[in-house]
Structure 1
């Protein structure tokens, strides 16, 4: 028996279907003669870098190489500024506790002299310094010149978080006195000294538990 193979007639679209197929085919990216703006931009950047990097050191360097070097320097400058400016601003926002190293006896003597002369603003400054020296003894901070009032407060807050609000307040008051924006009273000096007597034992207990 001979099998008879049958085949269907080839698909022949009508006029409307043929037009739709043609429009769909021509709309593909391959047939677009003009590249998109993004493609043109990328191609321009590639040509710019290729021209800049193709210089072999003979004759005057191409303008593209000079512009690329300037761009790299400018970008590096922006990055450095973004990194360093917050650090500088943080330093300016808070006064340093000590301009030079001071021992606990020296700070105590200076505090007593300020109290005797009733210079409560100066007494407050030395009271804060005594607090920082006490924190140094408990290895909470290092009372070296350059340490700011807020850095000391934040370091102590990490050890005794419950006292963070008072530490921040005393740091702000220290800065206000050091900037000359404010003057302190005897009650404020006594409040700082009383707070210090609570803070240092609390730090010692926290250190023992850690």
Structure 2
């Protein structure tokens, strides 16, 4: 069989084209794969956003636990013992010290914005006590006590004064009652800032101190005594 030169060339080109593999460019192929995988049918069982967040959180906690257990003596068992000891110490401190108290600052004024007389504070304190509202009764009685000292000029009226400051200042003029004044201020702070609950005995002790101070004359300083003489 005789094959012409043109037919031979055509036949060779056809065979060459069949032997060369088809090479699709990488970028279009990747984009096509991403479009295919982005279809909802491939993501019906994927975890939602909350589940993914929780999974990452627990993975993070697990990593911390694994690291700590590798450092702690005895491995996981040693870490558990250490955690139990820490929890036990925290519970013991909480039971011993009670609820942490907020330290009164300069903004913890004894009085509110509306000035009232000692008699008005005493009336309010007795009303609270009659209703069994001992916290409010203690607060009002302490205000009555300090206002009375101001009215008698034992204390200079000063806005923003705290119960502790009033007790410390009054203790200089009334040294025999300094301890009782500090205890009264501490009781006021406990129920006002420390989350403690007062009772009848606390209020009655404060009321008795208030009435006692009404009949006690302040001790003059040496300078004041010299001026009086």
Normalised to the residue count of structure 1, the TM-score between the two structures is: 0.51
Provide the residue aligned with 2:133 in structure 1.
119
Structure 2 regions of 5+ residues with no counterpart?
1-102
Question: Partners in 2 of 1:120 and 1:91 — Cα distance?
Answer: 21
Q: Is the 8 A contact 2:174 2:219 kept in 1?
A: yes
Provide closer, same or farther for how the CA distance between residues 106 and 195 of structure 1 changes in structure 2, counting only shifts above 3 A: closer
Residues 62-110 of structure 1: per-residue CA shift (max 9 Å, x gap): xxxxxxxxxxxxxxxxxxxxxxxxxxxx861783210221123431331
Q: Is the 8 A contact 2:171 2:178 kept in 1?
A: yes
Provide closer, same or farther for how the CA distance between residues 157 and 175 of structure 1 changes in structure 2, counting only shifts above 3 A: same
Provide the residue aligned with 1:139 in structure 2.
153
1:92 to 95, 105, 109: 105
2:142 to 110, 128, 151: 128
Q: Is the 8 A contact 1:159 1:207 kept in 2?
A: yes
* Residues paired across the two proteins, number: 121
Provide the residue aligned with 1:108 in structure 2.
122
Question: Partners in 2 of 1:120 and 1:151 — Cα distance?
Answer: 23
Q: How does 1:124-203 map to 2 (within 5 A)?
A: 124-202=138-216
Moved segments of 4+, more than 6 Å: none
Question: Partners in 1 of 2:218 and 2:163 — Cα distance?
Answer: 23
Residues 149-205 of structure 1: per-residue CA shift (max 9 Å, x gap): 011101111101121111111111111111142111111101111112222322x25
2:219 to 203, 206, 209: 206
Alignment RMSD (CA, Å) = 2.6
SS in 2 for 1:118: coil
Residues 113-142 of structure 1: per-residue CA shift (max 9 Å, x gap): 211211011000011011011111221223
Q: Is the 8 A contact 1:124 1:184 kept in 2?
A: yes
After TM superposition, give the deviation of residue 144 of structure 1 in Å: 4.4
Normalised to the residue count of structure 2, the TM-score between the two structures is: 0.47
Q: Is the 8 A contact 2:174 2:218 kept in 1?
A: no
Question: Partners in 1 of 2:185 and 2:218 — Cα distance?
Answer: 23
Greater CA radius of gyration, 1 or 2? 2
